[in-house]
Amino acid sequence: MKVIEAIERRRETGRFQSKALPEETVQLLAHVLQLAPTGNNALSREFILVRDSTRLQTLAETTPYMAWLREAALGVVIVANPMVSKYWLQDATLAGGFLWLAAVEQGLGMAWGAVYHSEDAVESARREGHARQVLHIPSEQRVVAILGIGYPAVEPAPKKLHPRSAVIHFESFSRPAPA
Ligand SMILES: Cc1cc2nc3c(=O)[nH]c(=O)nc-3n(C[C@H](O)[C@H](O)[C@H](O)COP(=O)(O)O)c2cc1C
Protein backbone atom coordinates (compact mmCIF):
# COMPACT_ATOMS: atom_id res chain seq x y z
CA MET A 1 0.00 0.00 0.00
CA LYS A 2 1.25 3.48 -0.86
CA VAL A 3 1.54 6.02 1.94
CA ILE A 4 -1.08 8.22 0.28
CA GLU A 5 -3.54 5.32 0.30
CA ALA A 6 -2.94 4.70 4.01
CA ILE A 7 -3.51 8.42 4.64
CA GLU A 8 -6.74 8.38 2.63
CA ARG A 9 -8.06 5.20 4.27
CA ARG A 10 -7.19 6.11 7.86
CA ARG A 11 -10.10 6.66 10.21
CA GLU A 12 -10.42 6.19 13.94
CA THR A 13 -11.55 2.62 14.66
CA GLY A 14 -13.67 2.30 17.79
CA ARG A 15 -14.59 -1.40 17.60
CA PHE A 16 -12.17 -4.31 17.28
CA GLN A 17 -12.49 -8.03 16.55
CA SER A 18 -11.29 -10.31 19.32
CA LYS A 19 -8.28 -11.52 17.38
CA ALA A 20 -4.66 -11.32 18.49
CA LEU A 21 -1.99 -9.68 16.35
CA PRO A 22 0.76 -11.90 14.93
CA GLU A 23 4.07 -11.41 16.74
CA GLU A 24 5.71 -10.13 13.54
CA THR A 25 3.05 -7.42 13.24
CA VAL A 26 3.71 -6.25 16.80
CA GLN A 27 7.43 -6.21 16.04
CA LEU A 28 6.83 -4.22 12.85
CA LEU A 29 4.78 -1.64 14.76
CA ALA A 30 7.59 -1.41 17.33
CA HIS A 31 10.02 -0.86 14.43
CA VAL A 32 7.86 2.01 13.14
CA LEU A 33 7.85 3.66 16.57
CA GLN A 34 11.63 3.35 16.74
CA LEU A 35 11.99 5.01 13.32
CA ALA A 36 9.81 8.05 14.09
CA PRO A 37 11.86 11.26 14.18
CA THR A 38 12.37 13.52 17.20
CA GLY A 39 13.75 17.05 17.50
CA ASN A 40 17.55 16.85 17.68
CA ASN A 41 17.16 13.06 17.58
CA ALA A 42 16.67 13.17 21.36
CA LEU A 43 15.36 10.11 23.19
CA SER A 44 12.43 12.16 24.43
CA ARG A 45 9.62 9.61 24.12
CA GLU A 46 9.18 5.92 24.85
CA PHE A 47 6.38 3.45 24.25
CA ILE A 48 4.83 0.73 26.38
CA LEU A 49 3.19 -2.03 24.34
CA VAL A 50 0.46 -3.84 26.24
CA ARG A 51 -1.19 -7.06 25.11
CA ASP A 52 -2.34 -8.43 28.45
CA SER A 53 -6.16 -8.26 28.42
CA THR A 54 -6.55 -7.68 32.17
CA ARG A 55 -4.08 -4.80 32.02
CA LEU A 56 -5.89 -3.31 29.01
CA GLN A 57 -9.21 -3.43 30.92
CA THR A 58 -7.67 -1.49 33.81
CA LEU A 59 -5.86 0.92 31.51
CA ALA A 60 -9.17 1.70 29.74
CA GLU A 61 -10.21 3.51 32.93
CA THR A 62 -7.52 6.17 32.40
CA THR A 63 -10.12 8.49 30.83
CA PRO A 64 -13.84 8.03 30.02
CA TYR A 65 -12.96 8.31 26.32
CA MET A 66 -11.11 5.08 25.60
CA ALA A 67 -13.69 2.32 26.04
CA TRP A 68 -12.37 0.82 22.77
CA LEU A 69 -9.20 -0.18 24.63
CA ARG A 70 -11.16 -3.03 26.26
CA GLU A 71 -11.48 -4.70 22.84
CA ALA A 72 -8.05 -3.76 21.44
CA ALA A 73 -5.47 -6.46 20.75
CA LEU A 74 -2.65 -4.03 21.52
CA GLY A 75 -2.42 -0.88 23.61
CA VAL A 76 0.42 1.55 22.93
CA VAL A 77 1.12 4.00 25.73
CA ILE A 78 3.19 7.00 24.64
CA VAL A 79 5.23 8.58 27.42
CA ALA A 80 7.61 11.50 27.01
CA ASN A 81 10.13 13.31 29.15
CA PRO A 82 10.08 17.16 29.11
CA MET A 83 13.48 17.18 30.85
CA VAL A 84 15.03 15.50 27.80
CA SER A 85 13.61 17.78 25.11
CA LYS A 86 11.40 20.85 24.76
CA TYR A 87 9.90 19.03 21.76
CA TRP A 88 8.62 16.12 23.86
CA LEU A 89 4.95 16.62 22.97
CA GLN A 90 5.58 17.02 19.25
CA ASP A 91 7.94 14.02 19.25
CA ALA A 92 5.40 11.84 21.03
CA THR A 93 2.50 12.87 18.79
CA LEU A 94 4.42 12.45 15.57
CA ALA A 95 5.30 8.87 16.47
CA GLY A 96 1.62 8.17 17.06
CA GLY A 97 0.86 9.48 13.58
CA PHE A 98 3.46 7.21 12.02
CA LEU A 99 1.99 4.28 13.94
CA TRP A 100 -1.54 5.04 12.79
CA LEU A 101 -0.54 4.90 9.11
CA ALA A 102 1.48 1.72 9.60
CA ALA A 103 -1.52 0.13 11.33
CA VAL A 104 -3.72 0.96 8.33
CA GLU A 105 -1.12 -0.49 5.98
CA GLN A 106 -1.22 -3.73 8.00
CA GLY A 107 -5.03 -3.94 7.67
CA LEU A 108 -5.47 -2.83 11.28
CA GLY A 109 -7.51 -0.09 12.91
CA MET A 110 -6.40 2.33 15.59
CA ALA A 111 -8.01 4.65 18.12
CA TRP A 112 -6.36 7.57 19.89
CA GLY A 113 -6.90 8.25 23.58
CA ALA A 114 -5.62 11.63 24.75
CA VAL A 115 -4.25 11.45 28.29
CA TYR A 116 -2.07 14.53 28.86
CA HIS A 117 -4.36 17.55 29.30
CA SER A 118 -2.55 20.80 28.57
CA GLU A 119 -5.24 23.06 30.07
CA ASP A 120 -6.17 21.20 33.25
CA ALA A 121 -3.21 20.18 35.38
CA VAL A 122 -5.38 18.48 38.01
CA GLU A 123 -7.24 16.37 35.44
CA SER A 124 -3.98 15.57 33.67
CA ALA A 125 -2.39 14.42 36.93
CA ARG A 126 -5.43 12.24 37.68
CA ARG A 127 -5.39 10.60 34.24
CA GLU A 128 -1.65 10.20 34.05
CA GLY A 129 -1.55 8.96 37.64
CA HIS A 130 -3.88 6.08 36.76
CA ALA A 131 -1.73 4.90 33.82
CA ARG A 132 1.40 5.57 35.87
CA GLN A 133 0.21 3.27 38.62
CA VAL A 134 -0.93 0.46 36.29
CA LEU A 135 2.29 0.42 34.24
CA HIS A 136 4.88 1.62 36.80
CA ILE A 137 5.73 4.71 34.76
CA PRO A 138 8.32 6.92 36.48
CA SER A 139 7.28 10.41 37.58
CA GLU A 140 9.55 12.27 35.13
CA GLN A 141 7.66 10.75 32.19
CA ARG A 142 4.46 12.48 31.06
CA VAL A 143 1.76 10.15 29.77
CA VAL A 144 0.78 11.69 26.44
CA ALA A 145 -1.68 9.22 24.92
CA ILE A 146 -2.91 5.65 24.89
CA LEU A 147 -3.61 4.12 21.50
CA GLY A 148 -5.67 1.01 20.81
CA ILE A 149 -4.91 -1.23 17.84
CA GLY A 150 -6.62 -4.31 16.46
CA TYR A 151 -8.47 -5.81 13.54
CA PRO A 152 -11.43 -3.49 12.84
CA ALA A 153 -14.88 -4.89 13.59
CA VAL A 154 -16.63 -2.35 11.37
CA GLU A 155 -15.84 -0.70 8.07
CA PRO A 156 -15.67 3.05 8.70
CA ALA A 157 -17.58 5.53 6.55
CA PRO A 158 -15.49 7.77 4.30
CA LYS A 159 -14.19 10.82 6.13
CA LYS A 160 -16.20 14.05 5.88
CA LEU A 161 -13.53 16.65 5.30
CA HIS A 162 -13.41 20.24 6.43
CA PRO A 163 -13.44 22.39 3.26
CA ARG A 164 -9.96 22.78 1.83
CA SER A 165 -10.24 26.59 1.97
CA ALA A 166 -10.79 26.37 5.73
CA VAL A 167 -7.68 24.27 6.22
CA ILE A 168 -5.07 25.29 3.66
CA HIS A 169 -3.57 28.72 3.09
CA PHE A 170 -1.08 29.55 0.37
CA GLU A 171 1.64 32.12 0.96
CA SER A 172 -0.06 33.81 3.93
CA PHE A 173 -2.90 33.20 6.39
CA SER A 174 -5.99 34.26 4.51
CA ARG A 175 -9.72 33.86 4.79
CA PRO A 176 -12.25 34.57 2.06
CA ALA A 177 -14.21 37.73 2.84
CA PRO A 178 -17.54 36.89 4.57
CA ALA A 179 -20.54 37.08 2.19
C1 LIG B 1 -4.94 14.67 19.64
C2 LIG B 1 -6.10 13.72 19.51
C3 LIG B 1 -6.80 13.35 20.63
C4 LIG B 1 -7.84 12.42 20.52
N5 LIG B 1 -8.45 11.96 21.66
C6 LIG B 1 -9.38 10.98 21.55
C7 LIG B 1 -9.90 10.36 22.73
O8 LIG B 1 -9.53 10.67 23.86
N9 LIG B 1 -10.82 9.37 22.56
C10 LIG B 1 -11.25 8.98 21.32
O11 LIG B 1 -12.07 8.06 21.24
N12 LIG B 1 -10.76 9.55 20.19
C13 LIG B 1 -9.84 10.53 20.28
N14 LIG B 1 -9.28 11.07 19.14
C15 LIG B 1 -9.79 10.68 17.81
C16 LIG B 1 -10.49 11.85 17.12
O17 LIG B 1 -11.69 12.17 17.76
C18 LIG B 1 -10.68 11.48 15.65
O19 LIG B 1 -9.43 11.22 15.08
C20 LIG B 1 -11.39 12.61 14.91
O21 LIG B 1 -12.75 12.65 15.26
C22 LIG B 1 -11.28 12.48 13.41
O23 LIG B 1 -11.82 11.26 12.98
P24 LIG B 1 -10.95 10.27 12.06
O25 LIG B 1 -9.73 9.86 12.89
O26 LIG B 1 -11.84 9.11 11.78
O27 LIG B 1 -10.52 11.02 10.86
C28 LIG B 1 -8.22 11.95 19.25
C29 LIG B 1 -7.52 12.34 18.13
C30 LIG B 1 -6.46 13.19 18.25
C31 LIG B 1 -5.67 13.57 17.01
Which residue's CA is minimally distant from atom 6 of ligand 1? 113
User: Rounded to an integer, what distance in angstroms lies between the CA atom of residue 136 and that of residue 167?
Assistant: 40
Distance between CA atoms of residues 68 and 51, nearest Å: 14
Interval between CA 179 and ligand 1 midpoint (Å): 32
Q: Where are the domains of the chain?
A: 3-167
Q: Is the CB of 15 under 6 A from ligand 1?
A: no
CATH assignment, 3-167: 3.40.109.10
pLDDT in tens, 128-176: 999 999 999 999 999 999 999 999 999 888 899 999 999 999 999 987 6
pLDDT of 179 strictly over 80: no
pLDDT digits (tens, 9 = 90+) for 68-94: 999 999 999 999 999 999 999 999 999
Q: List all residues 6 or more positions away from 141 whose beta carbon is below 8 Å from its beta carbon.
A: 46, 79, 80, 81
Dump pLDDT digits (tens) for 18-73: 999 999 999 999 999 999 999 999 999 999 999 999 999 999 999 999 999 999 99
